[in-house]
Amino acid sequence: AQKVTQAQTEISVVEKEDVTLDCVYETRDTTYYLFWYKQPPSGELVFLIRRNSFDEQNEISGRYSWNFQKSTSSFNFTITASQVVDSAVYFCAPLDTGRRALTFGSGTRLQVQP
Amino acid sequence: SAVISQKPSRDICQRGTSLTIQCQVDSQVTMMFWYRQQPGQSLTLIATANQGSEATYESGFVIDKFPISRPNLTFSTLTVSNMSPEDSSIYLCSGDSGGADTQYFGPGTRLTVL
């Protein structure tokens, strides 16, 4: 079974600051998949990224970047030059490949102040 | 990516009644999932729904309380039966097209039980 720890419950930054959200996972699978989702105040879950375990290249998408480190079982998410619209709860979620269901972390609430 | 809609978007119900939530996907998906998000909490998987077979329930969730139907590859329903205030949550459905494909989520149904 997968486990995931998002140790940061809440982070508050001022607009234009960079912020990193931490995610540490546990899995016994040799091949596995990790996801990040965003949940803005409206409540819907927005898919951000899917990463498989055999691709350790870091990924950048605009102001978003992800640092995948198998050696430390971490899959951290950085927002550069944060904006008020980034305010949301962010979930890291490994995929249980047997059940094909996501195991969600407790989430990190990000507040970006103007 | 799949687009998922849910009905109703929100409801306020009386204790002891039942509510059926509908989930419609704009394309065929292999797996559909139902999650519950209690106030201020993360998402917890209720069950996995495959077409043509009974849903698979997670520990702590039972079919009598949360009956699920999956009549075809684009539609599923979740019923919350004999509701109590503890059932007040957001209920989200998701779908994927197989393997370790990305799960896309519906907008959720906000349920309040009085």
pLDDT at position A87, please? 97
| CB contact (8 A) between residue B33 and residue A95 | no
- Please check the confidence at residue B84 and state whether its pLDDT lies above 70: yes
Mean pLDDT of B80-92: 97
Instruction: List, for chain A, all residue ranges whose pLDDT scores fall below the cut of 70.
Output: none
SS3 A86: helix
Residues of B in contact with A101 (CB under 8 A): 33, 45, 48
Contacts of A62 (CB under 8 A, 6+ apart): none
Interface of A with B (CB under 8 A): 33, 35, 37, 42-45, 47, 50, 52, 91, 95, 97, 99-107
pLDDT at position B100, please? 66
pLDDT at position A96, please? 84
pLDDT at position A22, please? 97
To the nearest whole Å, the CA of A104 is away from the closest chain B CA by: 6
Q: What DSSP designation does A71 have?
A: G
| CB contact (8 A) between residue A37 and residue B31 | no
SS3 B101: coil
CA dihedral (B44, B23, B80, B56) positive or negative: negative
- Please check the confidence at residue B77 and state whether its pLDDT lies above 80: yes
pLDDT at position A88, please? 97
pLDDT at position B23, please? 97
- Please check the confidence at residue B22 and state whether its pLDDT lies above 90: yes
Q: Which residue has the higher pLDDT, A55 or B98?
A: A55
Contacts of B23 (CB under 8 A, 6+ apart): B4, B5, B6, B32, B34, B75, B76, B77, B78, B93, B95, B106
To the nearest whole Å, the CA of A40 is away from the closest chain B CA by: 11
Backbone angles phi and psi of A87, in degrees to 5: -65, 120
Residues of B in contact with A106 (CB under 8 A): 41-42
Q: What percent of chain B has pLDDT over 70?
A: 97
- Please check the confidence at residue B80 and state whether its pLDDT lies above 80: yes
Rounded Cα distance, B34 and B96, in Å: 12
| CB contact (8 A) between residue B42 and residue A99 | no
